[in-house]
Structure 1
Amino acid sequence: MEEHGYSGLPVVPYIRVSRVGGRDKTDGYISPKEQQKAIDRYAEYENVELHAPIIEENVSGGSLEGRSGFEQAMTMVDRGTAGGVISLRLNRIARNIRDAIDIADRLDKKNARLISVSEKIDLGTGTGRFQFYVFAALAQLELEQITEQWKVSVGQAVEKGIHISAAVPFGYLKGEDRRLYPDPEAAPSVKEIFKRRAKSPPESWAAISAWLWEQGVKTGRGNEGFSRSALQAIVTNRAYLGEAHYVGKGKRGKEPVFDLVNPKAHKPLVSATVFERAQPNGETAERNGTLTDQTLLRGILTCEFCGHRLVLLGSTDRATGERMANYHCARDHADGKCSQPVAIQARRIDPVVEELFLDRLSAYSKKPRAMRVTNTALLVKAEAKLAEEEAGLASWLAQDFIGIPQKLVEKQKAERLARFSAAEEALKIERDRAQVGAEIEKGDLVERWPELGREERNRILRAAIDRVVITDAGGKRGRGAPPPEKRIKSIAWATGIVG
């Protein structure tokens, strides 16, 4: 060893194996135990002292990035506690020429050695360094050939509808042909998860998790309870659309090199429309319902000056420290800013509108049945509109979008989803109105009203009232502010409910 000027310190045995799907055989797989035996035999014959081996499994040699074990070995060299690195083959250390040059320079600066048992490479000579670079180039070529072979194999598997991942999506079973088939026990739960998230507004993750718990549904691993992240992973997994999908990564493991999709690999559990409606869309953590529980007129009040629905915000009562619910115009809207945004306390306006509704309901109930208005035409129209928007959205999603700018695709997608949501909300309102109309026909709603919960009363009010237009307070506050009934500019009652 001294003839090369090496330090004589023990060298670090570095052992690496790649276990990526079916690549073991094509990658010249040699087990860690076999690699260790070969290194030990070489060290004994050449009288090389060894450190404890560093072993990395399931790690690709295509890049140095993410190989913490190899970096640990090089750090030992940098700190002067190791005299170099030894491996069975060069391709265990580097599989591209750029990394090989960087490794050689780093070892050379520390007068450390690199030993490849199979290729018998010694960096202490010019010939050895030349051999090192040649073998690194050959290793890179071999890796590229393996990658190409892997791409072809994966492409054939995806084309056949084979599910490549070892993890089977919850709601499916993997058959002997390695394709996915709906699990008769779990598939209904998956459909229900998507259905609840596709509603407008979507049901909370916590509520869905609680429902699954009550139903005794267990995760794919047999655990009780679905976390928020587990549910999000389900609703974002395109396997439920019937797709077999594989993305090949680049050398850094980040940029996609190839993206293979079979849109009809297996039976879907949800439609494209439901899948798109269920997506999280960057939502933030869910809020508790404390403020919501204080209000009756959610989705009913509108601003006089811009026509937009008022949103719910909270404030703190200075005297009591109590949290209060307030209706506010958001001011900044997609179609511009509101010139004079309004706001009003829920505890002031809610009782006023509620009393107006009950008075109107009482008078309406006393009308002869022949004078009451029924309007099933609006329900039929709303159903037809939703079917039209759903068909249009599904047809649009089926396009390949080749050559269309991504920003334009996202804009069109947002517009179509907005139209679909509006049609869905309109149908929901008409169905609620039909149901509320039937309840009113019973003639006892006024008497039962005090017994109803806040959510039920809100549902009935939203069915009975199209909108309540709120004007501003004229810059006055406190005792000088106008009473809430004076803040009501107009009320549009729904046809067929109470007049």
Structure 2
Amino acid sequence: MEIVTHKNITGYQQTAVAYTRLSVEEAKEGESSSITNQKNIISRYCDDNNIKLLNIFADDGYSGSNFNRPDFKKMIEYLKQVKVDMVITKDLSRLGRDMTESSHYAEIVFPEMNIHYIAISDGFDSQKVNVMAPFQFAMNDVYLRETSRKINQVIQNKRLNGEYCACPAFGYMKENGKTNHLVPNPDTAPTVKYIFKLACEGLSAFAIATRLTDEGYTTPLMYRVQTGNFTEKGAARAVENWNHTTVKRILQNEVYLGHTILGKQKKASLKSKKKISVPKEDWYITRDTHQPLITPEEFETAKINIGKNTKKYTGYDKCRQSIFNGITFCMNCGSAMCSCGSVYNGEREKYWYLGCISNRKRATTRCTHAARIKYTDLLTIIKNELNYFISLSDKEIESIVNSAIKKSNSNQVYEDTGQSKANLTKRINDIDRIIAKLYNDNISGLIDDERLASMVSDLTKESNAIKARLSYEEDTLANNEVKDAYKKFFNIVKQYNHIEDLDEKTVRMFIERIDIGEKILPDGYQVASHHIPTKQQIKITYRFIGCLDDDGQCFNENNDEIKDDELKKVV
């Protein structure tokens, strides 16, 4: 390619500034692309062409995908303040690899500033007609996209292998400071454990943040500033006070369970710096890749306790507080139930869970079959149910799990788990169409009976094999999911020997939701009283395993479960 020369016939010495740039990836190409080599080429060019080099600007370690580079910005400001005739780069790619922006500076910005721009190796001269310029800019853009593709491919492979190719989460550090394996950070891991401990005790995110600030714990950003290289602008954002949002982010991060979770965000486009959120189903999650800081039970308990302090639990300001607040609902209309009534001299017999929210006087709609139950009755029922689980032997637990698996295999509707299953299902449909066509061809005389029988037999065997594979994979997947769910639930159960006094923490440890049905009175009665035996349906949805009886259980006035098929059909 032609090398630009710029002989000064009049002997007038022109002035110039040099701009050099090198990305991290380009640095691997060797000395030919180095900043030093670029400076040497430009200096030699200036000496040969009687040009005075006033200044050299260098962005070492910056991508050419955008122009948000510190020394490039300094150069533009310099050009506005100092009279300069020329801007010189080794080639067009040093100016930038973004086709639109590079062309804008080379062919519009610099000429409008009355500055002569030269790219030595590419033979580009802004004062000449550059016929090949569009192709040169385009090729640099192609290089940018190809490099980005290769980098993304490497990162994706690391993600699939469970390597942590991101900044370590607060509480962890990379082993030996270089590898992609996380290990607990002795400086910050105790803080993370303390946060989960406080959350398990029922403290809100605000309360935890306040305590951490009062007790002098270092915030994540402040710790990074103290231990890493931060610009003044970045360090200025670090504060000593903890924020409740930071606490919530830590409590919701499954990395503390020992899992590698990557790909939560991505760039909006190749040339954009903006990050956008990625749906959870598209995250890269690899289980059990490093040492956990907390147990699954602690994570779930903290999650529940933090959740109960949100508006969905506190929106009913007139509800009396109880250990069932926020998880008890009317079975008829689905509205949240509120606790009300009175307590006299410590007597809780007159303390009721009365009706549902939609049955209040101010409600625009009313539930015509609102449920109510005595607070003490609900306490007794739930406590008996939980103690039943605690009393189960390993053999009885195994029997319950096997029954759940059998029920799952007979009733569950499976979702498509991937493209492989879709392809297999499509192949079965294709085989059916092929067999139908073969019979038509046989009738038309295109194939004989022997050939028809052979082909149909082979296709039928293939179809049956695919169906067997799909059935096996679905059953295996469902069985593993059921086993994992029951394992999580009974791991919680095994933490207890017997529940004597039921409290809110225990209730939320086991139960997600309680649906209360209306009281069923004997024939001839319309109003319930202490002297009239009643029956009531209660549906308990347990954590991980859901409701063991889809229709719930019925209890009488003595809190004994009723095995009544007719009553089971109420819901």
CA shift in 2, pair 1:50/1:289, >3 Å: farther
Instruction: Show the counterpart of 2:108.
Output: 106
Instruction: Show the counterpart of 2:388.
Output: 377
Instruction: Show the counterpart of 1:263.
Output: 286
Secondary structure of 2:19's aligned partner: strand
Determine if contact 2:91/2:121 at 8 Å carries over to the other structure: yes
Q: Aligned partner of 2:62: which letter? A: V
2:357 maps to 1:329: yes
Q: Say which of 328, 336, 345 aligns to 1:309.
A: 336
Measured in 2, the distance between the counterparts of 1:402 and 1:29 equals: 46
CA shift in 2, pair 1:134/1:430, >3 Å: closer
Instruction: Show the counterpart of 1:93.
Output: 95
Secondary structure of 1:114's aligned partner: strand
Instruction: Show the counterpart of 1:14.
Output: 19
Secondary structure of 1:377's aligned partner: helix
Q: Say which of 121, 125, 146 aligns to 1:122.
A: 125
Q: Say which of 246, 260, 282 aligns to 1:243.
A: 260
Measured in 1, the distance between the counterparts of 2:30 and 2:148 equals: 10
CA shift in 2, pair 1:161/1:470, >3 Å: closer
Determine if contact 2:262/2:284 at 8 Å carries over to the other structure: yes
Measured in 2, the distance between the counterparts of 1:374 and 1:78 equals: 79
Structure 1 segment 210-229 matched on structure 2, within 5 A:
221=224, 227=243, 228-229=245-246
- Describe the superposition over 1:51-102 as per-residue Cα deviations: whole angstroms up to 9, x where unpaired: 66554454311345x4576467568879997655332332111325444433
Q: Aligned partner of 2:29: which letter? A: T
Instruction: Show the counterpart of 1:178.
Output: 179
Which fold has the larger relative contact order, with Cα–Cα distance below 8 Å and residues 6 or more apart in sequence? 1
Structure 2 residue ranges without an equivalent (≥5): 1-5, 228-239, 277-281, 340-353, 423-481, 520-533, 539-553, 560-571
State the percentage of identical aligned residues: 14
Instruction: Show the counterpart of 1:483.
Output: none
Q: Mean Cα displacement is larger for which, 31-40 or 98-107?
A: 31-40
CA shift in 2, pair 1:120/1:53, >3 Å: same
Q: Aligned partner of 1:295: which letter? A: Q
Query: Per-residue deviation at 1:182?
Result: 3.6
Q: Aligned partner of 1:171: which letter? A: Y
Query: Per-residue deviation at 1:263?
Result: 3.1
Measured in 1, the distance between the counterparts of 2:155 and 2:202 equals: 37
Measured in 2, the distance between the counterparts of 1:498 and 1:204 equals: 38
Measured in 2, the distance between the counterparts of 1:171 and 1:13 equals: 43
Measured in 2, the distance between the counterparts of 1:204 and 1:48 equals: 68
Instruction: Show the counterpart of 2:366.
Output: 340
Structure 1 segment 68-467 matched on structure 2, within 5 A:
70=72, 85-107=87-109, 110=112, 111-119=114-122, 121-126=124-129, 129-130=130-131, 132-133=133-134, 135-144=136-145, 146-147=147-148, 150=151, 154=155, 162-165=163-166, 167=168, 170-175=171-176, 178-183=179-184, 204-207=204-207, 221=224, 227=243, 228-229=245-246, 232=249, 235-236=252-253, 242-243=259-260, 245=262, 251-253=270-272, 263=286, 266-267=289-290, 269=292, 295-296=321-322, 298-299=325-326, 302=329, 306-310=333-337, 329=357, 339-340=365-366, 376-377=387-388, 401-402=418-419, 438-439=500-501
- Describe the superposition over 1:447-491 as per-residue Cα deviations: whole angstroms up to 9, x where unpaired: xxxxxxxx879979x99x9778899xxxxxxxxxxxxxxxxx999
Instruction: Show the counterpart of 2:447.
Output: none
Determine if contact 1:386/1:424 at 8 Å carries over to the other structure: no
Secondary structure of 1:15's aligned partner: strand
In angstroms, what is the RMSD of aligned CA positions?
Answer: 7.1
Query: Per-residue deviation at 1:154?
Result: 4.7
CA shift in 2, pair 1:264/1:75, >3 Å: same
Instruction: Show the counterpart of 2:65.
Output: 62
TM-score (norm 1): 0.51
TM-score (norm 2): 0.46
Q: Aligned partner of 1:329: which letter? A: I
Query: Per-residue deviation at 1:180?
Result: 1.3
Determine if contact 2:110/2:117 at 8 Å carries over to the other structure: no
Q: Aligned partner of 1:14: which letter? A: Y
Query: Per-residue deviation at 1:329?
Result: 3.0
Larger radius of gyration: 2
Give the number of aligned pairs: 405
Instruction: Show the counterpart of 2:442.
Output: none
Structure 1 residue ranges without an equivalent (≥5): 313-325, 332-336, 343-351, 362-371, 406-418, 441-454, 472-488
